[in-house]
Structure 1
Amino acid sequence: MPGPSRPGNRYRGGVTDGGVTGARVDRDDRLDATAVADVLTLARIAGDADGADPLDEAVLLRLRDPRAAAVHLTARTPDGLLVGYAHLDITAPAEGVGLDLVVHPAYRRHRLGRALATTALAEAGTLPVRVWAHGDHPAAAALAVDLGFGRARVLWQMRRSLTVPPPAPALPDGVTLRAFRPGTDDDAWLALNARAFADHPEQGRWTADDLRVRLSEPWFDPAGFLLAVEESTGRLLGFHWTKVHEYAGATPIGEVYVLGVDPTAHRGGLGRVLTAAGLAYLREQRGLRRVMLYVDESNTAAVALYQRLGFAHWCAHVNYHRG
């Protein structure tokens, strides 16, 4: 089978759905601006229909970063409409290939998703493959089982209304809150993030480039990136990075984007204080009425904390592995 990446290569696959729509699969190492816009439109249509965005943030960042290495599989009808897309993350082949896949709601049940998935598996060759089923869609689960994937991880999305003010617990003695300072706090924050998420499969591995890309995003707001600082030393003890999702024609929603506490500062209630401070910022400074977050189902301590703060389970995202 072919390897995960052949720079500059492009191929055209066969008809993917038995001729019902005539959609075919193309492979590219880079997408131009028009193709990226088509993918984002497809993702928005599918997300509106399913109640969960089909592509995770890392995929969206790579789509907008011309330097990012990836394999793109696109399926278009004869008149050029993009009706299917698969993204293969090939940045860490030793750990396997990450796969995200989306099919237009009006073009499902024609084996188009299966065609994209089997093409992606052929592209991955003998490498392990991990894929997210966003929203735990039944069709995605059935396809994963058919293709030999096993359920490996479950990520919950939890939500809370902000119409009711969040609690206002007191900061621990000797600790203050302030906003993140881009260019000044970068290295200290990356070190804290690595300590706080030492066992996390993605978050704890962030690099300076990962941070840089997000600080350059249109949604980035330093005032909503709260740091807990030890007053006597200036040492960072924890943080709550908030995010606001804004969609055309939809009500904005806030997010507890990343929340972390230094392992040496646990058991002081700092996580609860930081969570409440970020919720207050989203409610009072940004005027939002609802907020969401993502947490591993297996992280029972975090789930319990968020439930005490008024969050409830909204939907699940399931990670499947093969190989």
Structure 2
Amino acid sequence: MTDRRIETFTDLPAGAAQAVFDLIAAAAAEDGQPAVSEQGRLHLRNAGRPGVRHLLLWTPGPDGGGAQELTGYGQIDGTDPVEAPAAEFLVHPRRRSRGHGQALAAELLAATGRRLRVWAHGGHPAARHLARQLGLRLFRELRQMRRPLDPELTGLPEPRLPEGVEVRTFVPGQDEAAWLAVNAAAFAHHPEQGGITRADLDDRIAEPWFDPAGFFLAFRGPTPVGFHWTKVHRPEGLGEVYVVGVAPDEQGSGLGRALTAIGLRHLARDRGLGTAMLYVDADNAPAVAVYERLGFTTHETDLMYRTEE
């Protein structure tokens, strides 16, 4: 028996979001990476988004005085119109191995009618074991790749843009619609990225890390045909190839490689960062090959599991 209880919210009570962020930070300090993705943290910070639910798991505090302690958190993102809902969840490091993770997972499965995709960031053995216990199968492998940077741009090619294509930086208040259009076209096969809405974009623009000087748009005449959005993780000294996209008509032209090189040069010279990172699906062989030729190697792996359908 246990005194745990799980509550489900669309709008979080006052103070709950900060308590969850504190929980995520405590777990990240133990595990080496956050158990909730950037998208999940944005949903948490901007609670109330339709289709997103937040599960809070409470247990009695250590003093036994009746106060409840936030011990676990889960999130269900049901905004994808095609795929099964996606979930992330975690338990405080001090309260693990007591069945709380399995209880949260069971609640997530029940809430979605056992139609669920679940992220395991870092692919830790405990997450793999729990996935097997729950009857989930491995569905997706997302690699984090890294490469060193230096002011001399060692190993970085000169950007060679296709004829007729020009690149400039993003202008807030002007370029949102253009970027949304080229992003949707470039990632039509990838609903998670291609389905980003104006609200999702505005959430990111409002984040402290947003820097239009590191957000590059490529145009052929007035038409947006590609982009490279970089991101700086200043505390870790990392520059991220946040997302690179190329319109279908321009794919194979070398634009993606040129845009990647432009962003990496910006991170190395303009921002003085010593390491670049990016995420790429392991089964995207052409993209993995491009990044390997640019000097990237696999640093760690995130795994997604799903229920059988």
Instruction: Determine which of 199, 223, 226 is the counterpart of 1:235.
Output: 223
| 2:225/2:250 contact within 8 Å kept | yes
Q: Report the AA paired with residue 296 of structure 2.
A: F
What SS does the corresponding residue of 1:73 show, helix, strand or coil?
A: strand
- Equivalent residue, structure 2, for 1:191: 181
| 2:159/2:259 contact within 8 Å kept | no
- Equivalent residue, structure 2, for 1:66: 47
- Equivalent residue, structure 2, for 1:31: 12
Instruction: Determine which of 110, 121, 125 is the counterpart of 1:134.
Output: 121
1:115-264 map, 5 Å: 115-124=103-112, 126=113, 128-163=115-150, 165=153, 166-230=156-220, 233-246=221-234, 250-264=235-249
For residues 288 and 272 of structure 2, what CA distance do their matches in structure 1 show? 25
Task: Identify the range of structure 1 (104-113 vs 68-77) with the bigger mean alpha-carbon deviation.
Answer: 68-77
Q: Report the AA paired with residue 78 of structure 2.
A: I
| 1:95/1:128 contact within 8 Å kept | no
For residues 82 and 162 of structure 2, what CA distance do their matches in structure 1 show? 43
Q: Report the AA paired with residue 296 of structure 1.
A: D
What is the Cα deviation at residue 113 of structure 1?
Answer: 0.4
Q: Report the AA paired with residue 45 of structure 2.
A: R
- Equivalent residue, structure 1, for 2:96: 108
For the structure 1 residues 94 and 309, does the alpha-carbon distance in structure 2 shift closer, same or farther, using more than 3 Å as the test?
closer
What SS does the corresponding residue of 2:94 show, helix, strand or coil?
A: helix
For residues 205 and 127 of structure 1, what CA distance do their matches in structure 2 show? 24
What SS does the corresponding residue of 1:81 show, helix, strand or coil?
A: strand
- Equivalent residue, structure 1, for 2:294: 309
| 2:85/2:116 contact within 8 Å kept | yes
Instruction: Determine which of 58, 76, 90 is the counterpart of 2:58.
Output: 76
For the structure 1 residues 285 and 207, does the alpha-carbon distance in structure 2 shift closer, same or farther, using more than 3 Å as the test?
same
For residues 57 and 183 of structure 1, what CA distance do their matches in structure 2 show? 23
| 2:229/2:244 contact within 8 Å kept | yes
When the two chains are superposed, the root-mean-square deviation of aligned CA atoms in Å is 1.9
Deviations 1:106-151 (A, max 9, x none): 2211111001111222222x25111111111111111111112111
Task: Identify the range of structure 1 (112-121 vs 83-92) with the bigger mean alpha-carbon deviation.
Answer: 83-92
- Equivalent residue, structure 2, for 1:13: none
Query: TM-score scaled by structure 2?
Result: 0.90
What is the Cα deviation at residue 173 of structure 1?
Answer: 2.7
- Equivalent residue, structure 1, for 2:65: none
What is the Cα deviation at residue 186 of structure 1?
Answer: 1.5
For residues 310 and 58 of structure 1, what CA distance do their matches in structure 2 show? 27
Q: Report the AA paired with residue 86 of structure 1.
A: G
Matched, 1:51 2:32: yes
| 1:96/1:127 contact within 8 Å kept | no
Q: Report the AA paired with residue 263 of structure 2.
A: G
What SS does the corresponding residue of 1:291 show, helix, strand or coil?
A: strand
Identity, in percent, stands at 47
For residues 261 and 35 of structure 1, what CA distance do their matches in structure 2 show? 40
Deviations 1:221-242 (A, max 9, x none): 1111001222xx2322211001
What is the Cα deviation at residue 97 of structure 1?
Answer: 2.2
What is the Cα deviation at residue 93 of structure 1?
Answer: 6.9
Structure 2: unaligned runs, 5 residues or longer: 62-67
